[in-house]
Structures are given as structure tokens and as C-alpha cells.
A and B are shown apart, each in its own frame.
Chain A
Amino acid sequence: AQKVTQAQTEISVVEKEDVTLDCVYETRDTTYYLFWYKQPPSGELVFLIRRNSFDEQNEISGRYSWNFQKSTSSFNFTITASQVVDSAVYFCALSEDTGRRALTFGSGTRLQVQP
């Protein structure tokens, strides 16, 4: 069965620090999709990125970057020069191609960025 583990429950940093959120996944499918979502205090789930299992290229979007490594089943998320507005709960999630297509979420990492 599929599983997503976010071992960091809560991280607190000071503004302008870099921070990396870890995500480790388990799946038997050879084709799968990995996601990151941001959930600010207002509660909505904001889509950040999707990666499929055949695309191991790292991605950078502004201050955000993602490192996907199939060898270690990890999909880590780094925020560079963090800002107070980055404070939120961040969820990593997995969708399988032939197994469960609905998202299986990790337990989330609460990021607090102090001014």
C-alpha cells in the first residue's frame, strides 16, 4: 500500500533562512505522481508542484525548489530566503497510476517563519 512520511512535524526558522521539508514515499506502482500542497491558516489547499515518476529533474520556481530522488524515494522541498508569508502547513502527497489515484497525504509539516 502507498504511504507518505513527513518526519518533521514542526519547523521554526527566522526570516531569510533557507529551510528544507522532507518527504519520503512508498509505492509499488512504477508510475506515480508526487505533489506538494501548502495549507495556510485560512485552510485552503494550494497546489505547488506535481512530479511524475519518470521525471527526476529538479525544479526551481522562484524561492521554491524540489529535489526528487527515486533511489531514496524522497521528494524534498526547499524554500530559499523564507518569508513570514511562507508560514503554513505543507503536505507532500502521492497518487498512483494503477493503484489508488486519489491523493495519499503525509501528515504535514508546520512551518513557522519568525520575523
Chain B
Amino acid sequence: QVQLQESGPGLLKPSQTLSLTCTVSGGSIISGGYFWSWIRQRPGTGLQWMGYIYYSGSAYYNPSLKSRLTISVDTSKNQFSLKLASVTAADTAVYYCARYSGGTCWFDPWGQGTLVTVSS
């Protein structure tokens, strides 16, 4: 079955750019109908959808993050990535990648999540 795994640095300083990669295994990222998503969870709070991308490269972003967020896909590596610019302490969160069904709008499966802390 499809599995997702996040990777990237766990500690950043304010104003730096957060870069994370999600590696998809057990299935192809070139799967019709699925988008590849990033979702975050700030400490003690709920989930926030950040954005998703189709294998063709078409990306869609949360309006509140759109100015700082870039999501890209590398089909040759079966990976997709997130870049969030100009981070602050408010970007401290667990970041999850997940597969999103475009036709029926659900997220499954999810990666295990990776904690990113922004601190000077």
C-alpha cells in the first residue's frame, strides 16, 4: 500500500526558508485523480491545510500562506516538496504530507509527520 515519509531539518532560525520533502513508496505519484498535500499542526492546535500539487505540477495553496509557500513535484524520484519562506515562531508545527483524493476530497494515507521548530 502507499506510504508517505517526510524528511527535512527540524530546527530553523527566524527568516529562514523551511524545506521539506515527502517520499512516496508503494505506489506512483503519477496516479490519476490524486493530489499530494501538505498539512501542518501547530502545538496543541488543530490541522491546517497548506496546499497540494498534482503530478503535472499544478499547485493550489491556502490563501493565508500563498505568498510564502511553494510546492513542487519530482516524478522521477516519486517525491514532492514544500518550501515556506520567511519563517517565524508561528510556523513551529508538525508538518504532515498526505495523499488527497481530488474527486472525493479526503486525505489518506498520511505520513508520520515531522516536527519543525523555529527558534533563534
A and B from one complex? no
